Amino acid sequence: MTDIAPPILLARHGETAWTRAGRYQGQSDPALSPAGVAESERLAATLGGGAIAAIMCSPLLRARQTAGVIAGVIGLPAPQIDPDLIEIAYGDWEGLTQAEVKCRWPALLRAWKHAPETVMFPGGETLGALRMRVRRCLGTYSMPASSGAVLLVTHSAWIRIAVIEAQGLPLARFRQVPVATGSVQPLFFHTSRTLTGTN
């Protein structure tokens, strides 16, 4: 039988006011909304019965708040911050709605919808740059933890790239991976360190 190590659990932070308004957040730093705090509490309740060895989180406030709620509920030490868990930089798009982006960058928005792997955000970065951070993290946290799973509290684009990496899919599939706020996605590692995603 194939031996499978404890999973990496990828959790997306709870809702912010920008999430609700449909604004690109990226590396901007809005706090959780009251609904986002409640989502974090519900997520913590679902994780409480599992064996989690450690919680790592993005340096952005919404992820730190979510991770702190989870740690408090399940009785773990304060989460550790890993800069590689930060969201993609949307640059000049951050704080704008899709309608506002469409007025200023209509061609680039079309490319983002249909060929996301080709887009460099003005003043921001590419999916390829984010993938480098994701690969570093997955390489670090894929080593089995004897006491249980590692929970990474991060962001939607980050989790999409991790799932794509796990399934060996091209970056062009990026927009086909749904990631709701306050959700969790497990990635398992065989002893050979081969990643397997469940999405």
- Which residues participate in catalysis according to the annotation? 13, 87
Burial status of residue 191 (CB atoms within 10 A of its CB: 0-12, 13-18, 19 or more): exposed
Burial 45-84 (b: 16+ CB within 10 A, else e): eebeeeebebbbbbebebbbbbbbbbbebbebeebebbeb
Residue found under tokens 């799932």: 163
Positive or negative torsion for Cα 158, 163, 168, 172: negative
Token representation of residue 154: 């991060």
Give Cβ neighbours of residue 170 (< 8 Å, ≥ 6 apart): 117, 164
CA–CA separation, 184 and 124 (whole Å): 27
4 Ramachandran zone, left/alpha/beta (phi>0; psi -120 to 50): beta
Query: DSSP assignment, residue 193?
Result: -
